[in-house]
Structure 1
Amino acid sequence: MNYQDFLKTKSKIQIHKGFSPFEMNKNLFPFQKFIVERNVSKAKYGVFADCGLGKTIMELETATQTVRKTNKKALILSPLVVVAQTKREAEKFDFDMDKVVMTNFENLHNINPNEFSSLIVDESSIMKNFEGKLKKQIFDYFRNTEYKFAFTATPSPNDPMEIGNHSEFLDYQTRLEMLATYFINDQDHTSKWRLKGHAVDKFYNAMSNWAIMLTKPQDIGFDMPGYDLSEINYQEFKIETDKLNNGLLFNDLAISATDFNGELRRTKKQRIEKAAELASKKTNHIVWVKHNEESSEVTKMIDGAIEVSGADRPEEKAEKLLAFANDEFRVLVTKSKIAQYGLNFQNCASQIFMSPDFSFESLYQSVRRSHRFGQKNRVDINLITTDTMQNVIETIKTKEEQFKIMQQLMIKNQNLWTKDIKQYGVTA
């Protein structure tokens, strides 16, 4: 057996038996119906669809399809504030929710998994930490669930752990099997994995058996007007810091992850003042912060600002975030980990990042709360940095390029089921 034949034996993945869809809700667009059909036909499937493509309505339709097939309950699991938003969407589009249960991740311990024939995990990138308590809980609870679906906008670029977790959650290849088949350990970084050079297309082709990725309907053959993003304008405001007493002529231009929080504390006053200045314009703004003390202080300095903090009760967080979406106050101050997932803030076209860090996913998800399909205005993204933190922005740019490459490779290697696309009025 030569190496290529050996690779084929290793790349075999589990096949699951689904069903043909029932008649779908009339409010779904053709490309959304196509994705729902793939979901139920595959039985276990991942949907990596960019922000604003209607993941919520696809989740609701997928759930109701499994209810009609099994006559058992379906569970939609999502961040707390997204639950309220999903319920509003269900009412808006007239879904029958008699056997569809929606709950948040924090309430998972109160769920009996045996009551459900299907599970839908919204914002499934929460499973990126393969040793995380929540990820283990989801895997253990729903190990034998018949239908399972994962929805997210951004599986992390160059992060095989997260992609492997999705594959394992959906019962195809385990994370370790996927790594052994397609990846090689980076000798310089024992925790880093990279695709084998000859396995790039094979990996994304295999991945297309259990997931679909799209940034717009055209990526999967649907030429639909209206899916164009508005202009986005990134502006960096660099703060010149005081000279450190370290015996050097100039301060370092790069900060390590270890020293990052210390540098934020050292520059807190200047960054707060700049954020307050930018948010003084009488339009809606989101101010993204990193630390509790800078959150409370910048809120006091901005007229019309409301803080959503980790200390708030979950219900309080949801209430405030939905109030901002409804234009009940002008400036939202919060952390990315509180409000970066699932929320629609098209009413806000200005975001201020007081302390951008090394996480591209966090920045991307936060930006897409405002910059999404349906946004009519230019979105201004204001990044407040310092002269000592220039490597942070460079790291984000590098990860952004990796993410775009991943999107392009998966879209290129997707098996689009030409015969099934045609039934939705598309000439493939």
Structure 2
Amino acid sequence: MIELSVPVEKIPYIRTIEGRKFKNGKWQFPDSALTVLQQYKLIDSNIVVSKKEKVQYELSPYLRDYQQKIVNNALNEGCYAIFSETGTGKSPMGLEIAIHFDKALILCPLSVIETAWIDDCHRFYPDKIIVNCHGSSKTERLEKLNSKADIYIMNYESFKILKNEIRNVQFDCLIIDESSVMKNMTSQITSDILEMIDVIPHRFVLSGCPTPNHNAEIFPQIKLVDSDVFGNNYYGFLAKYFTQDMANPHRWYQTQENKNAYYNRLSEKSIFLAKDDCIALPDKTFEIKKIDMGKTQKMYYQNMVQNIKDNINSWSKFEFTAKLMKLREILSGFVINKDNSITDFDTEKDKILQQSIEEIGDKPIIVWCQFIHEIERLAKKFNGMALTSKTKNRDDIIRDFKDNKVKLLFTHPQLLGKGLTFTNCSYNIYYSLSFSYEDFKQSQDRIHRFGQTNKCTYIILQMKNTIDERIYNCLRRKGNAVDELYLEMGLKSINDFKENS
């Protein structure tokens, strides 16, 4: 950090320097700004910023070579971002970072507290005390926060409830798992987490997909790590690392020059790691099974399609998306009536699912679904285990599936979406799909990750000539299925769609 006084007439020059701060009557600049400050003759040209000597930390033997290198870099930096693709072992790296501090706080999705972070801690660091701060009331959460431990872990909701009390605990390390939760610069959780910049000195973020929609989503995540990287001004960040579309001023895109500058700057405080760069994993195989609709299903489907085409130009994006959900329900073998009762009907998808299960044999299978009724109906029909948002013994079911006590699991990608490892399983069947590429990728990575020794097979069940096909094609190329379906079903211009939404 370089600290100095800047004459008033020179202030316009320093506005281009990222990471500048004005504190206690003086300007502070990151060490990387030395050359620019010398050009503006604000600092002597003979001054050289000495580089911090790199320390080789003593790390656990459980870590692979690439993990040890990343963790060592992170500890030397003091604040760091690890953007490591799903399946490369982010949780063990996060735990290794945590144990090098007196008191660490980890924020992560509720779904992975017990079956990923705590299980891994007990397995690799049995001498460390880790506390799950989740609870049914603030009082219960606070009791856990005030207990004696080395590592405290909670979900984002608990953090929002306890954020004021956390200020008084004197944590010296904060780790944000799945930091894409901060991708929205204006969300409340992003604002709450960023308040910790002045509270907890060492901050680390972990994510396999930090920018699921747009590269600008990295800004708040890196700001938490070190605001010197991109500065504090979001719009200044956009102006420097993106190009504005003059035909559509709300759209910012990146040229190759923008991308080069963006990733070069990011590399100072982060690392991007792909599975292929560090782990030799078995191949993936995708099998598409095309299915004809039955008479009743086809009637429901065609009636809904006609209703959409008749009304599409008067609907908002929200209304249109709701109708698409109705189509997806029909393709899953049921309709929800106006009185909220549910009508099931026969669907050939069930027959093909049965055939697929029989072909796989006595091996663990995850069947991915989109609706609670769909999950419960299929689990009952095929004698499997249902895991929904209503399931109370979730962690027990996950452990039983890992231990092969449960062989057929029906669930939604977001319930097992991040941080969980099922390398005992090598078969996924997609009974239905969402519009989310992140959900699709994360669901694949539950089985295709470090420790997997078998070829991973993904079976996609598709109704012919329906939105099943469009959704899958869009997911394969990261397209926007909602926008494309809107155009296909009658809209003249996608701009009309966005104006109506």
Provide TM-score, normalisation by structure 2.
0.67
8 Å contact from structure 1 (residues 230, 376) kept in 2? yes
Q: Give the direction of change, closer, same or farther, for the CA distance of 1:319–1:105 in structure 2 (3 Å limit).
A: farther
Q: Which amino acid aligns with 1:66?
A: F
How far residue 328 of structure 1 moved from its aligned partner, in angstroms, is 1.7
How far residue 268 of structure 1 moved from its aligned partner, in angstroms, is 1.7
- The worse-fitting range, judged by mean Cα deviation, of 337-346 and 320-329 is 320-329
| Structure 2 residue 257 is the aligned partner of structure 1 residue 198 | yes
Identify which of 55, 69, 76 aligns with 1:41.
76
How far residue 204 of structure 1 moved from its aligned partner, in angstroms, is 0.9
- The CA distance in 1 between the partners of 2:118 and 2:172, in whole Å, is 20
Determine the structure 2 residue equivalent to 1:105: 156
Q: Give the direction of change, closer, same or farther, for the CA distance of 1:184–1:95 in structure 2 (3 Å limit).
A: farther
Identify which of 196, 200, 206 aligns with 1:151.
206
Q: Which secondary structure does the structure 2 equivalent of 1:383 belong to?
A: strand
| Structure 2 residue 284 is the aligned partner of structure 1 residue 232 | yes
Correspondence list, 1:75-224, <5 A = 75-84=105-114, 85-94=116-125, 96-98=127-129, 99-108=150-159, 109-110=161-162, 112-114=165-167, 115=169, 116-141=171-196, 143-157=198-212, 159-172=214-227, 173=230, 174=232, 175-186=234-245, 192-216=251-275, 218=277
Give the percent of matched residue pairs that are identical in Structure 1 and Structure 2. 24
Higher RCO (Cα < 8 Å, 6 or more apart): 1
Determine the structure 1 residue equivalent to 2:85: 50
Q: Give the direction of change, closer, same or farther, for the CA distance of 1:161–1:337 in structure 2 (3 Å limit).
A: farther
Q: Give the direction of change, closer, same or farther, for the CA distance of 1:135–1:301 in structure 2 (3 Å limit).
A: farther
8 Å contact from structure 2 (residues 365, 426) kept in 1? yes
Q: Give the direction of change, closer, same or farther, for the CA distance of 1:378–1:191 in structure 2 (3 Å limit).
A: farther
Q: Which amino acid aligns with 1:290?
A: Q
Give the number of aligned pairs: 375
Task: Structure 2: give runs of 5+ residues left out of the alignment.
Answer: 1-12, 21-28, 32-51, 130-149, 310-316, 334-346, 480-501
8 Å contact from structure 1 (residues 36, 58) kept in 2? yes
Deviation string for 1:61-109 (max 9, x for gaps)?
1112233xxxxx1112222342223223223223642422222333222
8 Å contact from structure 1 (residues 275, 298) kept in 2? no
- The CA distance in 2 between the partners of 1:342 and 1:38, in whole Å, is 22
- The CA distance in 2 between the partners of 1:125 and 1:247, in whole Å, is 35
- The CA distance in 1 between the partners of 2:175 and 2:305, in whole Å, is 56
Q: Give the direction of change, closer, same or farther, for the CA distance of 1:86–1:197 in structure 2 (3 Å limit).
A: closer
Q: Which secondary structure does the structure 1 equivalent of 2:470 belong to?
A: helix
- The CA distance in 1 between the partners of 2:110 and 2:305, in whole Å, is 50
Determine the structure 1 residue equivalent to 2:326: 262
| Structure 2 residue 338 is the aligned partner of structure 1 residue 307 | no
| Structure 2 residue 100 is the aligned partner of structure 1 residue 65 | yes
Deviation string for 1:178-232 (max 9, x for gaps)?
222111344566654311343121111111112101114846xxxxxxx211121
Correspondence list, 1:342-353, <5 A = 342-353=419-430
Provide TM-score, normalisation by structure 1.
0.78
How far residue 159 of structure 1 moved from its aligned partner, in angstroms, is 1.2
Q: Which amino acid aligns with 1:262?
A: K
How far residue 370 of structure 1 moved from its aligned partner, in angstroms, is 0.4
- The CA distance in 1 between the partners of 2:462 and 2:250, in whole Å, is 29
Q: Which amino acid aligns with 1:170?
A: V
- The CA distance in 1 between the partners of 2:303 and 2:119, in whole Å, is 56
Q: Give the direction of change, closer, same or farther, for the CA distance of 1:47–1:194 in structure 2 (3 Å limit).
A: same
- The worse-fitting range, judged by mean Cα deviation, of 109-118 and 350-359 is 109-118
Q: Which secondary structure does the structure 2 equivalent of 1:399 belong to?
A: coil
| Structure 2 residue 476 is the aligned partner of structure 1 residue 397 | yes
Task: Structure 1: give runs of 5+ residues left out of the alignment.
Answer: 1-5, 68-72, 220-226, 401-428
How far residue 302 of structure 1 moved from its aligned partner, in angstroms, is 1.2
| Structure 2 residue 375 is the aligned partner of structure 1 residue 295 | yes
- The CA distance in 2 between the partners of 1:43 and 1:35, in whole Å, is 12
- The CA distance in 2 between the partners of 1:197 and 1:22, in whole Å, is 37
Deviation string for 1:113-157 (max 9, x for gaps)?
322111111122222343444333323355532111111112235
Q: Which secondary structure does the structure 2 equivalent of 1:333 belong to?
A: strand
